Structure 1
């Protein structure tokens, strides 16, 4: 999936004869001859003849339509790339003058609302993207330096503002690590809560490739998947809810870009569970305003700069000029989004490169049991690791594991498969040899699951060693092989962990000059994160938006069932109605 997916590979299309949900919504007039009983509808564009006459071109089908069906994943992703790409970003920037935030005596106001096409542009950037670009730039560029270069591109006067029809740029660029800290606390509390609605072992949900796989092929594991939103999703909800309520503008006037290491994050952004239909409507998934409007990857950052003839590696590594920085409307969330200190949790390699959900939960458990130790046992390969929090006397308090890569994930879901009941009288129950939760079987309380071997720094949207930009900057004469890619990934990981080596970010200091550095120094610190501070911030967020915390921070999943290729006893008309009525959920 995402580990091998590249935008250049997504050039397939839904060809004639492939059963598809979308065409039944606008079926042509009934033919003179009866339709075949298998009802494999052709994709026919307006003004074109039937595919039996000639070969049709690509079908114009919306991403939401494709996500209602599990029959054509790659085609859905191809449509997705056309909707979420650096080209779409530039098109939106050039659509109208951007909204401007102005400071008034009574708070903040917005100028430019008279133009219905104008937007307020905000962006969030992942640490894995910064690490990938830092590795390309060279060893003298840290992850934090790369983050400032991205800010210069999106906000600075030498970046996107220097070109385009309206010289638009982004008002705020935030670090997803802030949302990640909230996700870590929420995930740890979910894992330890006796009232959790998630079955044990709890499986992490921040990897969209893994969630997609579970929803389509192994629905029996859905009760085990954590309901905590991913950092991308949580940040999207925070920005859309807070800005729309504090500035008094509609959510569709706020355009949120996420820069991620993974193409599957585009799929996540398109989920109907992550729209304002949930937090601004009836709390049910629907086709509302998305919390994340567009996702581009690390590779697409370079495509973006190339489209505007900008040398990314020539951008300044200094903070964006204070004259271009706008204070975030809410002071409490401003302090949360732009903390006057480096983000925590990346310094320890044991936390991994996927956000550290598992590692933080282990530290959280250990902090509640003074004197306990965390023991590590490597599994059958490097992408399976088992962890045990043991008491001073040696007894096991908490068991967890890390499963990366689809080969290992398949073994995991196989162990979670429920036993089958035979219909034969007196027959024995058949199922997995070692049922979940039983001694000698899958007895973990928590499992960190990621689709990409090696974690998120190895995401499909990351820059690879054989990409032209790396070959050119490194002066390589021969095409790199697997060993060179392994060495390259080690450099990306090194850049990922370099963030904590930097001093406090002056850019954050400029934005928060009135914030005292010791504001978060509380007595309940787990690592460098205060669960009490996170809970207080979430409570404040719910208070200023008037939305229940659970609707803000949790999401849901559903089984995705495809009718493609299946024989149905129902008549053609009934089946057409059933297909056309499928409106969402899943991927």
Structure 2
């Protein structure tokens, strides 16, 4: 039975609370005899469950078995389902691999660390240093431990954004029954480089299989729009387990983490002339759910018996490593950054490196870049700036941004300018929906066929990725007095890195030819 549209779900908790535990239910097989003779359930002092009949008889019940495949990425999963992954993907596991590298030369592996910009911003906010200083000092820290390479995920983010934008334009044209221009596409003219780039960026078949199971073989027909973001593993897991009908709407592009995994295990393994399983890839992320994402079977290479990302550690776990090693990020020496896998330029005046990022919010600029790309490709509107705070005036008069109901739901509407023959017409409607309160409203509208958006950037955490469950809390003695103020501060630090369009990344241009 469907819920009435008048019903409002209250007391939903979007934040991870370590004291919560995933409920592990008991399996009760009901027979006709049980219906005729009602029973009750009791719990003893050890936590065991017993079925008690009316005559006093007791039967101990077995707990149902729940695996990570059953996890809904709810607010309590960090202490239950994900605890299995914490043992495999943690700073302790990284220490073990570093130690093994030093002791057993025969099994020596190349260790690569990739750092997310959200984690970089969180550490910069705590230690009151710049994101560039964080990147260079963490590079020194990890290389002192025995790590061979430290990259940031700017390249993989740019690749993911470009493919997401291209996918959206394809969906929009298909939805509007408008044929693309007759000019040759990269797939038609490329000598193999673009195909390889897209193989690294495109999502594997795991979710497509889930779509087929949930909705039938023809589920994607007529379901091109709205296109929904695919980089938040908490949101993807929630959609797969509870709302299968939205899966055809989800972008097929991999997240930046998994794109980076493909770059390391595919592209770099070839350049270094080693097998993918001879590389140990560690990803530093703001979210515990990234551990779940890295463990998905669709990101496992059966032939080489390796994952694209072997270990995910959160920002908080990196901070713990610094503490354990007696390292102070405020005064630590700095090391040079890798020039290829770091988005930066040299200042023309000082010849010093300047760190670059992606325009848009701390969730990675997905909505902003796709909107700008679509405006140009579909309507020939150049120089559309969307890298401004919500509700700020934009540089294009046809774009309006407004906050709806709460700060975690924003709408972006693009109108074509009025002409003597026609008034201004809305042509693109985008939205950013953060937190499960807003996500539930979104999926309900999609199910009812009442969603007017063309694209939605969906994130499970209120405040987006800078407020991920693995991020740092305000330090003691900080001037920031509330969680919201701290998230806003980390967002400002994130935006302090100059944003440059993914299409201006020379490495990306080289990959696409």
Give the TM-score normalised by structure 1.
Answer: 0.61
Match in the other structure for 1:406? 436
Task: Give, in angstroms, the shift of residue 304 of structure 1.
Answer: 1.1
Shift of 1:410: 0.3
1:298-313 alignment runs, 5 A limit:
298-313=315-330
Q: Which residue of 2 aligns with 1:66?
A: 67
Contact 2:72-2:241 within 8 A present in 1 as well: no
1:98, distance to aligned residue in structure 2 (A): 8.6
- Per-residue CA deviation, residues 100-138 of structure 1 (Å, 9 max, x unaligned), is xxxxxxxxxxxx5xx13x211001001111111111112
SS at match of 1:256: strand
Contact 1:366/1:374 (8 A) holds in 2: no
Task: For 1:440-459, list aligned pairs within 5 A.
Answer: 441-459=450-468
Q: Partner residue of 1:495?
A: 493
C-alpha contact (below 8 Å) 1:119/1:254 kept by paired residues = yes
- Counterpart secondary structure, 1:154: helix
- In structure 1, the residue matched to 2:124 is 134
2:363 is paired with a residue whose SS is coil
Distance apart, 1:488 and its partner CA: 1.6
Q: 1:216 aligns with which of 229, 241, 262?
A: 241
Residue pairs, 1:229-378, within 5 angstroms? 229-277=254-302, 288-316=305-333, 318-320=334-336, 335=340, 337=342, 340=345, 342=354, 344-346=356-358, 351-368=360-377, 369-370=380-381, 373-378=398-403
Distance in 2 (CA, whole Å) between partners of 1:345 and 1:77 is 30
Q: Report deviation, 1:358.
A: 0.4
Structure 1 residues 294 and 306, CA gap change in structure 2 (3 angstroms): same
* 1:462 corresponds to which of 467, 471, 474: 471
Alignment of 1:143-154 (within 5 A): 143-154=131-142
- Aligned 8 A contact 1:353 1:455 in 2: yes
Per the alignment, residue 391 of structure 2 pairs with: none
SS at match of 1:249: coil
Tell which deviates more after alignment, 302-311 or 451-460.
302-311
- Out of 497, 502, 510, the residue aligned to residue 529 of structure 1 is 502
CA contact (8 A) 2:404 2:411 kept: yes
Shift of 1:257: 0.5
2:306 counterpart SS class = coil
3-state SS of 1:133 partner: helix
TM-fit CA distance, 1:313: 3.2
Aligned to 1:90: 95
Does the CA contact (< 8 Å) of 2:229 and 2:251 recur in 1?
yes
Cα separation, 2, equivalents of 1:298 and 1:186: 27
Q: Residues 351-405 of structure 1, C-alpha deviation per residue, up to 9 Å, x if partnerless?
A: 2110000001111123342376322122111111111221122212211111111
Aligned: 1:186 with 2:178:
no
Contact 1:244–1:250 (Cα < 8 Å) also in 2:
yes
Determine the C-alpha separation between the residues in 2 that align with 1:202 and 1:459. Answer: 23
Cα displacement string for residues 181-219 of structure 1 (whole angstroms, at most 9, x for unaligned residues): 111111111111146977210000111110111011111
8 Å CA contact 1:2, 1:459 repeated in 2: no
**After the TM superposition, which residues 165-184 of structure 1 pair with which residues of structure 2 at under 5 Å, given as runs?**
169-184=146-161
Partner of 1:121: 111
Q: Give TM-score, length-normalised by structure 2.
A: 0.69
CA distance in 2, matches of 1:68, 1:493: 33
Any conservation in 2 of the 1:5–1:263 contact (CA below 8 Å)?
no
CA distance in structure 2 between the aligned counterparts of 1:71 and 1:213, rounded to whole angstroms: 5
Unpaired segments ≥5 residues, structure 2: 1-11, 28-47, 51-59, 176-219, 347-353, 383-395, 419-423
Change (3 A) 1:229 1:71: closer
> Which runs of 5 or more residues in structure 1 are unaligned?
20-49, 100-111, 161-168, 282-287, 328-333, 418-431, 436-440, 502-526, 541-587
Distance change >3 Å, CA 370–CA 69, structure 1 → 2: closer
For 1:296, what is the secondary structure of its paired residue? strand
